[in-house]
Amino acid sequence: MIILYWLLIVLMVVGIIGALVPGIPGASLILVSIFVWGAIDGFTKVWVALATALAVLLLSLGIDFLAAYWGGKQAGASNWGQMGAFIGLTLGFFGFLPALPFGGPLVGILIGPLLGAIIGEFLYRRDLELQPRIKLAAQAGVGIVVGNLVGRLIQGVLAIASVIVFVFTTWPPGVA
């Protein structure tokens, strides 16, 4: 049983990495790991950790959307830039960015929102001349990406907290 406990801890560490890196399950992987341990242990000591992990999962979902939105709004992005970032993320995740034949989905997830936001904002700002239009589009794209990065860092901290709560509430006797 101790081996399974440590395997679940390792899976939770992968979940922490997933909270920081797009494309890898994060808080959901931690929640599933805690649930598995609870099912094995009879849900005797896991309720606090399970509630914490569920709260972290829900917060992470909200942070995903709000951080990018807030970052974009701070940089002056319109709804077109936000939608472009979402489309770019989707295309990048599935590897449909023709300019990126290398790196796979991870690079696409990082570059896609930036390119999508820039293109979306560029299309929205048709009333401006080329130079200010490019500047505003790039500024909006960078703002959305910075918002995403800040959101990922917050999710990473929440994921770490969730794992710490699990370890402190379920540490099995006899483990040194």
Q: Return the amino acid letter for 162.
A: S
Residue 176 resides in a domain: no
Domain presence at residue 137: yes
Alpha carbon distances (Å) from 124 to 32, 56, 127, 146: 42, 35, 8, 21
pLDDT for 47-105, tens place per residue? 999 999 999 999 988 887 788 788 888 888 888 888 888 888 888 777 776 555 555 66
With CA atoms as reference, report the closest residue to 163 among 62, 19, 3, 39.
19
**What predicted TM-score, i.e. pTM, was given to this entire model?**
0.79
124 in a structural domain: yes
User: 73 in a domain, yes or no?
Assistant: yes
Select the highest-mean-pLDDT range: 68-77, 109-118, 154-163: 154-163
Contact 83, 118 (CB under 8 A): no
Inside any domain, residue 53: yes
CA distance 83 to 88: 8
* CA nearest to 60, candidates 160, 167, 169, 159: 159
63: nearest Cα among 157, 168, 155: 155
72: containing domain: 2-170
Is residue 138 a part of any domain in this protein?
yes
Structurally, the chain folds into a number of domains equal to 1
27-60 pLDDT, tens per residue? 999 999 999 999 988 888 899 999 999 999 999 8
Judge whether 159 lies within some domain.
yes
176 pLDDT tier (thresholds 50, 70, 90): very low
In a domain, 175, yes or no: no
Residue 167 to residues 3, 26, 156, Cα–Cα distance (Å): 14, 17, 17
Instruction: Answer left, alpha or beta for residue 43, where phi above 0 means left and psi between -120 and 50 means alpha.
Output: left
